[in-house]
Amino acid sequence: MKQARHCFISESGELQARWQEAFPQALGLRLADPAPAGAGPTLLWLRLPQGRPVAPLLAELRRRLGNLPCIVLSDLPDDDQALACFAAAARAYCNTHAAPAYLRQVAEVVAQGGLWIGESLMNRLVDATSRVEVKSPSESGNSWAALLSPREQEVARAIAEGASNKEIARGLGITERTVKLHVGAVLEKLGVRDRLQVALIVSGVRQSQSA
């Protein structure tokens, strides 16, 4: 892998001491500066100004400097801001005041096509997902799961991913015949006539027709 050319972008254009420590040859730019002459940067670091929407900022950066991977640094990181950054195709989100070693690792990850989310947000995502899976049999509002046996729920979820009977069979280590049995049970219990409706119900688009 080639050496990345780092470019730090902040309101004032100054380089934080730790940034310079992490990447001695990094370039510093102000938000309004034009693209630097010569060999362009290959990796952008954007220090987020306080209280501004991130999407337009990132969009403009891309327009001016090319569609480069961009790492967002926030003085006061919070999960919602992080999500906004990733929605705007940021590649990483971390604290402005992170240690140089940390910054270097983030850079390496991003340079190799990785995404740096940070622990707080990651935990939230994992929590959300596991909670859904754990508590969905009991309630979760739409109650389709409550009508189905555990095995049938697995089948229903696979259907919602678009899996064929054969794929589900391989996935669960059973025969296609048995999958058809479960599918049939799911159809009857949810009161629908085909798997497409099952997919819509599991995806939350429709409600089950059953009592």
Partner DNA sequence: AGGCCCCCTGTACTTCGGTACAGTTATTTT
Partner DNA sequence: AAAATAACTGTACCGAAGTACAGGGGGCCT
Binders of DNA in range 135-154 (CB under 7 A):
149-152
Tell me the per-residue interface mask from 21 to 50 with a copy of itself, x by CB under 8 A, - otherwise: ----------------------------xx
Residue 121 tokens, joined: 């947000």
Which of a copy of itself, DNA, none does residue 156 bind to, with CB < 5 to 8 Å depending on kind?
none
Q: To the nearest whole angstrom, how small is the minimum distance from the Cβ of residue 146 to DNA? A: 11
Is 114 a binding residue for a copy of itself by CB under 8 A? The answer is yes
**Do residues 189 and 155 lie in contact, with contact meaning Cβ atoms separated by under 8 Å?**
no
Work out whether 172 is an interface residue with DNA (CB under 7 A).
yes
| Alpha carbons 45 and 3: distance in angstroms, whole number | 16
User: Which residue lies nearer to DNA by CB, 184 or 204?
Assistant: 184
31 binds DNA (CB under 7 A): no
Does the protein bind a copy of itself through residue 171 (CB under 8 A)? yes
Site membership for a copy of itself, residue 12 (CB under 8 A):
no
Please state whether beta strands 27-30 and 6-10 pair in parallel, antiparallel, or not at all (unpaired): parallel
CA distances from 128 to 124, 183, 192 (A): 6, 28, 29
Burial environment of residue 185 by CB neighbours within 10 A (0 to 12, 13 to 18, 19 or more): middle
